[in-house]
Amino acid sequence: MSEQTLTLDDHEHHEHGPAKGLLRWVFTTNHKDIGTLYLIFSLTMFFIGGMMAMVIRAELFQPGLQLVEPGFFNQMTTMHGLIMVFGAVMPGFVGLANWQIPLMVGAPDMALPRMNNWSFWILPFAFTMLLSTLFMDGGAPDFGWTFYAPLSTTYAPPSVTFFIFAIHMMGISSIMGAMNIIVTLFNMRAPGMSLMQMPMFAWSWLITAFLLVAVMPVLAAVVTMMLMDIHFATSFFSAAGGGDPVLFQHIFWFFGHPEVYIMILPAFGVVSQILPTFSRKPLFGYHSMVYALIAIAILSFVVWAHHMFTVGMPIGGQLFFMYSTMLIAVPTGVKIFNWVATMFKGSLSFETPMLFAVAFVVLFTIGGFSGIMLAIAPIDFQYQDTYFVVAHFHYVLVPGAVFGIVAGVYYWLPKWCGKMYDESLGKTHFWLSFIGLNLTFFPMHFVGLAGMPRRIPDYSLQFADFNMMASMGAFLFGASQLVFVYLVIKAIRSGEKAAQVPWESAEGLEWTLPTPLPYHTFTTPPVFESKL
């Protein structure tokens, strides 16, 4: 690196000469270091949550109770959901944001670097506390990841208080990370770069950050009300004291539904970066993609009670939430068609990031279709709390959120470490994951439509074959993630040197800044230029 391109990040490392080794990672304010910490933490939680899923699928491999007690089975389903949502997916996307957003908008670092460090280091303590509940009297929370009251307040194990504190800490971390991203994108874009010139990944995170700031306090409110009901004799959710159990569901899902979009919008951004590169075409309909993201975010606030069709809602409420839920399919459809149009008549090549991105588009669409089925109120009465719901949200979150993170890692890894990963290993990882995923979750549609309830460790004999298939698929999917870990370590340690533009063979259109000078010397706007 020449003197001319020495960035603020590098100056920081010169200043902290003695803080090497472990201390460098503890005190770092460098957005790349913090992004790396988030990604490592996310991967760790992904494997911990995945092992819990393996326990669940091992128990369901055949009918009858064989491996675990029903109570422990319920603890596993609860912890698996919480860890995957708050520990794996969200920190994974924050890691990608920390790495990429300053690079994409020409900023020297995130706007609030010390808060960035703090927002990461809260997480390991929060999840240590959550996992420690497994070893407490009465065991971990066993009321499902949605922790519906009054089950979670009246019949909860003592560890539920620690669970509530852990949720608060995760929420604080998320709000700090979101504020950081908003301030960075509004205040630290390179001079001349308007909002409508930002890459789609930056746009997707700007909108996600606003969602986080809006809904995390709602989650904080509902767990605080739980805490009061448990310890201070209030009756927010207890009908005996004049409260309303359904109130819990309204507050939880007012947080919970935007939360689903918090987990998928950054994946939309990643895929919108990858598809144009490997299609050698600019993204089709950039402006409509931005407006579709905004529309999805706004609509996500008015559909929450489609999770609650069976609580005795008035018919007017059912109609409103049914139609508003179907309406959200319109901007989502705009995005799907724009991605397909981006690939249409492009000069496509199928490197690993492209494989994950195309699988994302196809499988996320399947998840969307089953979501429209669940949006039909009278039909949802039949589907509610069956494995059909499990199949639906896993088709959204695994090939959606998880594939989005993995695609982003493959796509940007050569930029991050200067080394190229093993392409044949990457494709092996993709195909094993793709087969394992579909073998796991597709049969769940069938058993769900036939009436198999979720969150129950035993089932009727008629569901045995499909459950065996699902469990075998789950073990395959879980094992294939070890290929990914091996591939990343191998690339960093001994990968071939990456080209200056990593996807030389699939270069397409790149965001390029016009000069190699440091940030503060920019006088001309960033240029969007073709290298074809």
Active site residues: 80, 109, 145, 173-174, 257, 259, 261, 272, 306-307, 332, 335, 454
Q: Are 406 and 93 in contact (CB under 8 A)?
A: no
Q: How far is CA 405 from CA 176, 265, 412, 502, in A?
A: 21, 11, 11, 18
Report which residue type is found at 348: L
Annotate 197-242 with DSSP letters as a single string.
GS-HHHHHHHHHHHHHHHHHHHHHHHHHHHHHHHHS---SS-GGGT
H-assigned helices in 137-199: 151-154, 160-187
Q: How far apart are CA 501 and CA 499, in angstroms?
A: 5
Which letter, b or e, does each residue of 166-201 get, where b requires 16 or more Cβ atoms within 10 Å of its Cβ? Answer: bbbbbbbbbbbbbbbbbebbeebbbeebeeebbbbb
Q: How far apart are CA 101 and CA 501, in angstroms?
A: 18
Q: Are strands 509-512 and 527-530 parallel, antiparallel or unpaired?
A: antiparallel
H-run or E-run covering 509: strand 509-512
H-run or E-run covering 420: strand 419-420
Q: How far apart are CA 266 and CA 278, in angstroms?
A: 19
Per DSSP, the three-state class of 17 is coil
- 274: tokens are 């990858």
DSSP assignment letter at 499: P
Residues 6+ apart with CB under 8 A from 506: 277, 278, 280, 349, 351, 354
Give the count of beta carbons closer than 10 Å to the beta carbon of residue 352: 24
Q: How far is CA 160 from CA 70, 221, 224, 252, 383, in A?
A: 18, 16, 12, 16, 29
Which residues are registered as beta bridge partners of 528?
A: 511
Q: How far apart are CA 299 and CA 314, in angstroms?
A: 21
